[in-house]
């Protein structure tokens, strides 16, 4: 199955600014992308990047090999919907997996691909949709707001069946500084290695596990 991975290098992960500088956020986003692409391939699927502009030399620190790329400068929802237009005769199913899921594993993707229904969804912790497999061309996406709820309602309105995969690995997208603790605790790929090299470490001094830098400051 072909799995599309939307990615943008335009000021990614702005909510990580309290911990990471702009160049660091771009580098970390690329590390997560590398993890996701590798996981998709290891699960036996074909990854395809969906980007708003061609990935240039500045992105070359992640080896994307021969990963095919679709360039679409529209917002995420119409860009993904355009890709999903392929679903139909000759393309029985197509997946979409977000690029900020560094904890995703081949086993977690296997669970998603094995789920039945016209649409299989892996929700994110904050109400989003982190991964989806679409098997009916009547389905379209909407990534604004509580997209997990909206996708279930859209599928029901179109008379489509939905399977939901409850997976910590697929539910953990990285947006906030506290999400970095999950990568340090459960990750084993490029993203975790990047954080360790950058001096990001677990902070257990408070009531909840968080992160801190060894230097105590964010380098600019």
Query: ∠169-138-144 over CA atoms, to 5°?
Result: 50
- Tokens matching residue 101: 């899921």
Q: Evaluate if residue 60 carries a pLDDT over 60.
A: no
The span from the CA of 204 to the CA of 201, in Å, is: 10
Q: What is the pLDDT of residues 153-170, one digit of tens each?
A: 999 999 999 999 999 999
Out of 3.40.50.720, 3.90.870.10, 3.30.300.20, 3.90.550.10, the CATH code matching 2-176 is: 3.90.550.10
Instruction: Show me where the domains of the chain are located.
Output: 2-176
Residue 91 DSSP one-character state: B
Cα 172 to the center of its chain, rounded Å = 9
Dihedral angle sign, alpha carbons of residues 181, 202, 33, 12: positive
Phi, psi of 2 (to 5 degrees): -85, 130
Those residues with Cβ within 8 angstroms of residue 90's Cβ, 6 or more apart along the chain or in another chain: none
- pLDDT single digits (tens) 92-147: 999 999 999 999 999 999 999 999 999 999 999 989 999 999 999 999 999 988 99
Mean pLDDT across the stretch 163-181?
97
């Amino acid at each position: 199955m072909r799995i599309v991975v939307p990615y943008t290098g335009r000021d990614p992960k702005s909510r990580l600014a309290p911990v990471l500088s702009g160049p660091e956020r771009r580098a970390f986003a690329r590390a997560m992308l590398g993890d996701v692409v590798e996981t998709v391939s290891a699960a036996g699927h074909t990854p395809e990047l969906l980007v708003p502009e061609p990935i240039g030399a500045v992105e070359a620190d992640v080896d994307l090999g021969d990963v095919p790329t679709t360039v679409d400068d529209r917002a995420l929802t119409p860009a993904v919907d355009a890709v999903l237009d392929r679903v139909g005769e000759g393309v029985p199913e197509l997946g979409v997996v977000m690029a900020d899921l560094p904890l995703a594993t081949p086993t977690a993707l296997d669970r998603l691909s094995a789920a039945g229904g016209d649409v299989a969804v892996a929700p994110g912790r904050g109400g989003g949709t982190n991964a989806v497999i679409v098997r009916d061309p009547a389905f379209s996406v909407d990534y604004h707001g509580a997209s997990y709820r909206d996708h279930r309602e859209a599928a029901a309105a179109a008379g489509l069946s939905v399977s939901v995969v409850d997976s910590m690995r697929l539910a953990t997208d990285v947006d906030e500084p506290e999400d970095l603790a999950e990568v340090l605790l459960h990750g084993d790929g490029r993203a975790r290695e990047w954080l360790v090299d950058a001096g990001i470490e677990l902070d257990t001094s408070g009531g909840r596990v968080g992160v801190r830098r060894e230097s105590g400051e964010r380098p600019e």
